[in-house]
Structure 1
Amino acid sequence: MTTTTTPPGPSLAAGPSRLRRALGTPTLGPLAALLLACVFFSLNSDRFLSGGNFSLVIQQVMVVGTLAIGQTLIILTAGIDLSNGAIMAFGGIVMAKLAADGVVPPLVAIAIGLLVCAAFGAVNGLLVTAIPLPPFIVTLGMLNVVFALTHVYSADQTVVNLPAPLTALGDTFAIGGTTVTYGSLLTILLFLLFAYLLSQTAWGRHVYALGNSPEVARLTGIRTGRLTLGVYTVAGLVYGIAALLLVSRTGVGDPQAGQTDNLDSITAVVLGGTSLFGGRGLVIGTLLGALIVGVFRNGLQLMGVPSIYQTLITGVLVILAVTVDQLSRRRNR
């Protein structure tokens, strides 16, 4: 009597399993939302799909998108940073004022601005780890401190007549007839860099572990205090890069800049699928979240919708994203 055997291969359950994993990808929802938004606005505005308009959207989100990279790092550790927009504004004023007044060469002014922003990030990290204090309280206090310092140092005056190195990232080059700024390219490279660091390095795995459970991370040998300090410092350095991008885009050092960018960066992170409870999310999702905000605001503006309703719709999107995250956490328990 002979028997037949089924050749080895994927089981019938493999297909549904792969489908469930695909549907569970954190970036799938933001990507679908971005594509649907693009389809909707392309049907309602003839100008939306133009290369020039897409270039404008990218330029508009590059500053907030860069801020959101640092915000993502902190939120992955289950923290939050309300001071990043103020730190960016102060860093921009420092760069602009030192360079415009001729105190130091422009490149040195840029380096000092980056270091100042990193130092503020380090102070946040020290207060969170050494005392410790809740990140919300620390960064809320730092928001007010840095905001005041910005206005004191600048004397409430916009800094103009900046040397070329400070505005170089605002210069453009053409791709297929569409102008793209060097700053937009730098933002994309930063997203790729941090996507690699978070997914392919021990440092990135430790960041996720810290966000999932600080106590478990400590018991596995991770120096959680030093890691948290490092995350806040790196985030501060990223805010400094955002400051340079802002100065290069506007061509001035503006003490009024960045006043709502902290909330916009949190919006981008949340819409990108990163959990506010830490330990889950992708920096590429943050890029998608920043693009969602940029596309919605651009599309609604092209449709003639007043700016107050743009803010309203953005708020609704944030609430929906947090609701989805909370329901997902309950389902996974």
Structure 2
Amino acid sequence: MSNSDTSALRPSAAPPPPDPRVEEGERRSPLLYVQRLLHAQATLGPAAVLVVAVIAFSLVSPNFLQPGNISLVLQQTAVIGTLAVGQTLIILTAGIDLSVGAVMVLCSMVMARLSIDLGLPGPAALLAGFLCGAACGLLNGTLVTRLNLPPFIVTLGAMNIYFALNLWISSSETVRGTDLPQLLLWTGEVFRVGQTSVTYGSVLMLLLVAVLAYVLKATTWGRHVYATGDDREAARLSGIRTKRVLLSVYVTAGLIYAVGAWVLIGRVGAASPQAGEMDNLDSITAVVLGGTSLFGGRGLVVGTLIGALIVGICRNGLSLAGVEVLWQNFAVGVLVIIAVSLDQWIRKVKA
């Protein structure tokens, strides 16, 4: 047998063993440790940002921690936080909803006009608003699941449709609070916690966060939502009816937006067709700042609540510091870009 034949029978050289010093260096890298920690604890980063924001603005403005200002922040957060809860469901499935503000305003005007024009009592008008929100969510979900249209395009078009319907129903006129049933204004009523005034709308938002956090964590539907957002095709192959899950998510989000309309009426003390038009952007900001991934399958509703508080505190603190509205929007935009960049970095963590 020739030398070439015998060399072919020799076992190939084994790959060199991994350098234990390299692996040990990776394990001890502070940056890698932070990356893995943030991946394991999705709310840790937003909570740290919230604490830093509170400390910073309390140093900038002596009025920031006054009970009256804290009450104002809670009232502002109630609307955004409620909408962000519904937005969280959509983003968990790797979608996005640009129509959230339009749905909320439309539902508020449906409640108000039916109570004024048809004389419906408060419970009936409230139920009609909830049905309106569910119908909007059903339309969005049907277009996404049945026609396989991108959620961004669907909700962008729906946003314009709902705003047009809002102007048609309202005739561009505000319904005064004195003309509305007391039930619709109930979310704006306050009670005292120490020296701080808290609205029932804020309590309603917290209850909504608690219920949805439990549902997502402890129910089969919640696990299916996460699985669909993480990998829709894998979820479908495992037996999950992903289209049904997506449709239910959009309908549930629509109902939550209707709750946001109820909170908005109480917050403003009236039903205005111009109120909350830009809240869709703030709701997305709250979800992203709260640690929910725009790529789906990762995030917590509690984190969304923290994100909503960050948005409310930043806008309030910058306003107390005398910063113009345009620079407030600039600062929030920077926070969003940083949060998305951080999310991409966290998703690259190695198991």
Distance 1:322 1:177 in 2: 37
Q: Give CA deviations for 1:253-309 in whole Å, capped at 9, x if unaligned.
A: 111122111111000000001000000011111101110010011111111111111
* Count of paired positions: 319
**Aligned with 2:65: secondary structure?**
coil
Q: CA 1:186/1:152 → structure 2, altered by over 3 Å: closer, same or farther?
A: same
Superposition RMSD in Å:
1.7
Given that 2:86 and 2:257 are in contact with CA atoms closer than 8 Å, whether structure 1 keeps it comes out as: yes
Q: 2:93 aligns with which of 50, 57, 77?
A: 77
1:159 paired residue number: 175
User: Which sections of structure 1, spanning at least 5 residues, go unmatched?
Assistant: 1-12
Whether 1:103 aligns to 2:116 is no
Q: 1:175 aligns with which of 170, 193, 215?
A: 193
1:222 paired residue number: 240
**Alignment-mate amino acid for residue 312 of structure 1:** F
CA shift, 1:21, in A, is 6.0
**Aligned with 1:79: secondary structure?**
coil
**Aligned with 1:142: secondary structure?**
helix
1:128 paired residue number: 144
**Aligned with 2:173: secondary structure?**
coil
**TM-score normalised to structure 1 length:** 0.92
User: Which sections of structure 2, spanning at least 5 residues, go unmatched?
Assistant: 1-26
2:321 paired residue number: 303
Alignment of 1:121-270 (within 5 A): 121-160=137-176, 161-270=179-288
Given that 1:57 and 1:298 are in contact with CA atoms closer than 8 Å, whether structure 2 keeps it comes out as: yes
Given that 2:89 and 2:253 are in contact with CA atoms closer than 8 Å, whether structure 1 keeps it comes out as: yes
Q: CA 1:139/1:38 → structure 2, altered by over 3 Å: closer, same or farther?
A: same
Q: Which moved more, 1:31-40 or 1:155-164?
A: 155-164
Structure of higher CA gyration radius = 2
Alignment of 1:54-65 (within 5 A): 54-65=70-81
Whether 1:323 aligns to 2:304 is no
**TM-score normalised to structure 2 length:** 0.88
Whether 1:66 aligns to 2:82 is yes
Given that 2:36 and 2:346 are in contact with CA atoms closer than 8 Å, whether structure 1 keeps it comes out as: no
Q: What percent of counterpart residues are identical?
A: 56
CA shift, 1:134, in A, is 0.5
Q: Which moved more, 1:102-111 or 1:273-282?
A: 102-111
Q: Give CA deviations for 1:148-187 in whole Å, capped at 9, x if unaligned.
A: 0000111111111212111011111111121111111110
Given that 1:162 and 1:251 are in contact with CA atoms closer than 8 Å, whether structure 2 keeps it comes out as: no
Distance 1:188 1:255 in 2: 26
1:3 paired residue number: none
Distance 1:192 1:208 in 2: 18
Whether 1:53 aligns to 2:69 is yes
CA shift, 1:20, in A, is 7.5
**Alignment-mate amino acid for residue 31 of structure 1:** A
